[in-house]
C-alpha cells in the first residue's frame, strides 16, 4: 500500500517538477535557485559534522555530533544529477520537524524506476534494461534485501559521467571509485555481506602493471556482461566469469571498443592508418593499436631483405 502511494506521489511530483522547472530556467541566471534556500533548512544540520537545536527540556541550545553517514556534502549535492531537487522531494516533509518523528525511519525510499520508469525523456538511458540487467547481477542475486541502485548511485552525489565527460581517465576514476567504495572498504562491504572483503589488489595480482590497468580500464570492463544497447553494462557477473584473458583487450578487436571507448570508436582505421584509433589519444594498448602503413612497410622491407638474401644464395651456388 505504502509503496503504491509513493508511486502516485512520484507521478504527481514529476508533473509539478516539469512545470516548476520551466519557470526555474527563466530566472535561474540572477537568483539563487529556490531549492537551495529550501534545502538549507536540512543542510544546516545535515551539511555539517555538528548541529545544534533548541532543547525544550533543558531550555537551551544543545550542540551535538552528526552521524557521519548522515552528513551530506552540499558541493557534491549541487553538482549531482538531482541538484535541482529539494530534500523533501525524496524525503517526507515531516523531516522538517526535529527531533524527526520516529515512524519516519520506516519510510521506504523511492527507487529510480519510480521516476525514470516512464516518459521519453529518459529513453536514451534505457532504464528498463538497466533494471533487468541489474536484477541478473551477482549483487542483486545474492543480496536482494539490502542492495539497490542507490548503493552505487549515491542519492546525494551521483553525477552522470561516462555519457558526458570527455576525459576518459576521469570516467574511469569516477566509475571505479563506485566499486571501490565497498570493495576497498571493510565496513561498507560488511554492511551487505557478513564477511571480510578480499583485498582487491591481492585478488588481482595476476594482472601486470596493475596500477596502470586500474587507471586505464574500469572494473566493469572485466566484471560486467557487455550489452549492445546499454552504454554502461550493469550485469556484474560472478567472479568465475570475469575477463581474465589478456587478448580480450590486447588484440585488434579489443572489447574496449565496445565498452569503454564506445562513443569514440567510430571508425575502424583512421587517416594515419591506426587501427582502433580511438585508443590513441590517451592510451597505448599493446596488440590493439596497429598501424596499417607501418605493417605494410615492414612486410615489404622484410620481403625485400629475404629476397635479396635468396638471390645472393642462388648466385653463390651458381658461381661455386
Partner 1 sequence: MAVKYYFYPLWLRFWHWLNAVLCILLILTGLSMQYSNPDFPFMRFDLAVSIHNITGILLTASYLIFLVGNMITGNGRYYHLNLRTISTELMKQFKYYTLGLFRGEKPPFPINEKRKFNPLQKISYAVVMYVFIPLLIITGWALLFPEITIHDVFGVSGLHLTDLLHLIIGFFVSVFLIVHIYFSTIGATPLSHFKAMFNGWHKTHD
Site residues (vs partner 1, CB under 8 A): 206, 208-209, 211-212, 245-248, 250-252, 280-284, 286-287, 289-291, 294, 298, 301-302, 305-306, 309, 312, 315-316, 319
Looking at 171-179, 267-275, 294-302, 305-313, which segment touches ligand HEC (CB under 6 A)? 171-179
Report which secondary-structure segment, H or E, holds 49: none
Task: Tell which residue, 181, 263, 166, 274, has the closest CA to residue 219.
Answer: 181
> C-beta of 151: minimal distance to ligand HEC in Å?
4
Considering only residues 124 to 143 of the shown chain, the ones binding ligand HEC according to CB under 6 A are: 125, 127, 130-131, 134, 138-139, 142
**Is 319 a residue that touches ligand HEC (CB under 6 A)?**
no
Name which of partner 1, ligand HEC, none residue 69 binds, using a CB cut-off of 5 to 8 Å depending on partner kind: ligand HEC
Name which of partner 1, ligand HEC, none residue 294 binds, using a CB cut-off of 5 to 8 Å depending on partner kind: partner 1
- Rounded CA separation 86/35 (Å): 5
**Is 95 a residue that touches ligand HEC (CB under 6 A)?**
yes
3 state SS of 245: coil
Nearer to ligand HEC (CB atom), residue 121 or residue 267: 121
Name which of partner 1, ligand HEC, none residue 302 binds, using a CB cut-off of 5 to 8 Å depending on partner kind: partner 1
Number of H helices, E strands in the chain: 14, 2
Nearer to ligand HEC (CB atom), residue 217 or residue 278: 217
Name which of partner 1, ligand HEC, none residue 172 binds, using a CB cut-off of 5 to 8 Å depending on partner kind: none
Name which of ligand HEC, partner 1, none residue 118 binds, using a CB cut-off of 5 to 8 Å depending on partner kind: none
Name which of partner 1, ligand HEC, none residue 257 binds, using a CB cut-off of 5 to 8 Å depending on partner kind: none
Q: Give Cα separations from 200 to 98, 180, 197, 298 (angstroms).
A: 42, 9, 8, 42
Nearer to ligand HEC (CB atom), residue 252 or residue 308: 252
> C-beta of 281: minimal distance to partner 1 in Å?
7
3 state SS of 31: coil
- Rounded CA separation 258/32 (Å): 42
**Is 168 a residue that touches ligand HEC (CB under 6 A)?**
no
C-alpha cell at 17: 517538477
Contact 145, 194 (CB under 8 A): no
Nearer to ligand HEC (CB atom), residue 186 or residue 313: 186
Contact residues for 101 (Cβ-Cβ < 8 A; gap 6+): 94
DSSP 58-103: TTEEEEEEPPGGG---HHHHTTSTTTT--HHHHS-GGGGSSSPPGG
- Rounded CA separation 87/96 (Å): 10
Nearer to partner 1 (CB atom), residue 106 or residue 211: 211
**Is 90 a residue that touches ligand HEC (CB under 6 A)?**
yes
Q: Give Cα separations from 247 to 243, 252, 285, 286, 295 (angstroms).
A: 10, 9, 10, 10, 19
Q: Which of 1, 26, 286, 318 binds ligand HEC (CB under 6 A)?
A: 286
Contact 216, 172 (CB under 8 A): yes
**Is 198 a residue that touches ligand HEC (CB under 6 A)?**
yes
Amino acid at each position: 500500500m505504502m509503496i503504491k502511494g509513493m508511486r502516485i506521489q512520484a507521478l504527481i511530483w514529476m508533473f509539478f517538477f516539469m512545470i516548476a522547472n520551466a519557470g526555474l530556467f527563466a530566472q535561474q541566471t540572477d537568483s539563487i535557485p529556490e531549492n537551495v534556500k529550501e534545502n538549507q533548512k536540512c543542510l544546516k544540520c545535515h551539511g555539517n559534522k555538528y548541529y545544534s537545536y533548541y532543547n525544550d527540556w533543558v531550555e537551551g541550545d544543545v550542540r551535538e555530533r552528526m552521524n557521519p553517514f548522515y552528513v551530506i556534502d552540499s558541493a557534491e549535492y549541487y553538482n549531482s544529477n538531482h541538484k535541482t531537487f529539494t530534500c523533501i522531494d525524496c524525503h517526507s516533509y515531516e523531516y522538517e520537524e526535529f527531533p524527526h518523528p520516529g515512524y519516519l525511519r520506516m519510510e521506504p525510499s523511492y527507487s529510480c524506476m519510480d521516476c525514470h520508469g516512464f516518459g521519453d525523456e529518459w529513453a536514451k538511458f534505457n532504464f528498463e534494461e538497466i533494471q533487468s540487467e541489474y536484477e541478473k547481477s551477482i549483487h542483486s542475486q545474492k543480496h536482494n534485501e539490502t542492495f539497490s541502485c542507490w548503493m552505487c548511485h549515491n542519492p546525494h552525489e551521483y553525477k552522470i559521467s561516462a555519457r558526458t565527460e570527455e576525459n576518459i581517465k576521469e570516467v574511469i576514476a569516477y566509475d571505479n571509485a563506485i566499486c571501490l567504495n565497498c570493495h576497498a572498504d571493510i565496513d561498507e562491504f560488511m554492511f551487505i555481506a557478513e564477511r571480510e572483503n578480499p583485498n582487491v589488489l591481492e585478488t588481482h595480482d595476476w594482472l601486470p602493471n596493475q596500477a596502470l590497468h586500474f587507471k586505464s580500464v574500469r572494473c566493469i570492463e572485466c566484471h560486467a556482461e557487455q550489452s549492445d544497447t546499454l552504454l554502461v553494462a550493469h550485469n556484474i557477473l560472478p567472479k568465475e566469469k570475469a575477463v581474465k584473458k589478456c587478448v580480450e583487450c590486447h588484440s585488434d578487436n579489443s572489447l574496449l571498443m565496445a565498452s569503454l571507448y564506445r562513443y569514440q570508436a567510430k571508425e575502424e582505421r583512421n587517416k594515419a592508418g591506426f587501427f582502433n584509433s580511438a585508443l590513441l589519444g590517451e592510451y597505448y594498448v599493446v596488440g590493439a593499436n596497429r598501424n596499417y602503413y607501418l605493417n605494410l612497410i615492414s612486410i615489404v622491407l622484410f620481403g625485400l631483405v629475404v629476397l635479396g638474401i635468396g638471390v645472393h644464395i642462388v648466385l653463390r651456388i651458381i658461381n661455386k
